[in-house]
Chain A
Amino acid sequence: QVQLMQSGGGVVRPGGSLRLSCAASGFIFKNYGMHWVRQAPGKGLEWVAFIRFDEQTKYYSDSVKGRFTISRDNSKNSLYLQMDSLRPEDTAVYFCAKDLIRGTTNYFDYWGQGTLVTVSS
């Protein structure tokens, strides 16, 4: 069965950095686009970043562009989010999510368990 197992996260000071990881299993990882989506405490969902199956295309939300970097290692079935210059407003639960259909669709059919990132001094 499809599993997305997240790691990383924690508490970091403003201006600091953190790296999130998402280990995929149960599907052919290299065939699917992947995303990061976040949810601030008690708030709604915010799409953060996308990477195409072959890494040739990446998109970011304006709120993280220039500070966050999405990457993947298809040989390790893993997705990453490097978060730099963190701000208090980046505090959220971060989810990795898989595209529904091989190639690209940008609907999210499987999600990681979520990892909390807290940016606070």
Chain B
Amino acid sequence: EIVLTQSPATLSLSPGERATLSCRASQSVSTYLAWYQQKPGQAPRLLVYDASTRATGIPARFSGSGSGTDFTLTITNLEPEDFAVYFCQQRGNWPRTFGQGTKLEI
């Protein structure tokens, strides 16, 4: 099973700042990695897939990068609605796995 390790566990920033979230895979997943945003009481929302492709309707301030085992989600010019929990997920191998999440807080 591929283990995804996200860092940091919590990231404290202010609106207007830049957030950098990391996801490291225990073995290569090529570029088969996605990022999701989840707010309390809601289902996750797909932000980025294939490491760097923004999903439909996702603002350009969200960008993904990386390949192999190291991936980054960058959120520029943080908006108040961006404060949430972010998960990475791989589809390189079965079982599909998620990281443990990074909480982005004000």
Chain A positions within 8 Å of B, measured between CB atoms, are 35, 44-47, 50, 59-62, 95, 100, 105-109, 111-114
Q: Please tell me which one of the listed residues A50, A109, A111, A112 contacts residue B96 in the complex, with CB atoms under 8 A apart.
A: A50
B-side interface size class: 20 to 34
Contact status of A47 and B46, CB under 8 A, knowing A105-B91, A106-B91, A109-B55: no
- Is residue B95 within 8 Å, beta carbon to beta carbon, of the partner chain? yes
- In the bound complex, residues from chain B placing their C-beta under 8 Å from that of A62 are 1, 95
Structural contact, B95 and A107, CB atoms closer than 8 A: no
- In the bound complex, residues from chain A placing their C-beta under 8 Å from that of B71 are none
A-B contact pairs, 16 of them (CB 8 A): A45-B36, A45-B44, A45-B89, A45-B101, A46-B98, A95-B43, A100-B55, A105-B49, A105-B91, A106-B91, A107-B49, A107-B50, A108-B34, A109-B46, A112-B43, A114-B43
Chain B positions within 8 Å of A, measured between CB atoms, are 1, 34, 36, 38, 43-46, 49-50, 55-56, 87, 89, 91, 94-101
Contact status of A47 and B95, CB under 8 A, knowing A107-B49, A109-B55: yes
Bound CA span A25–B97, Å: 27
Structural contact, B46 and A107, CB atoms closer than 8 A: yes
Bound CA span A113–B1, Å: 28
Structural contact, B98 and A44, CB atoms closer than 8 A: yes
Structural contact, A45 and B87, CB atoms closer than 8 A: yes
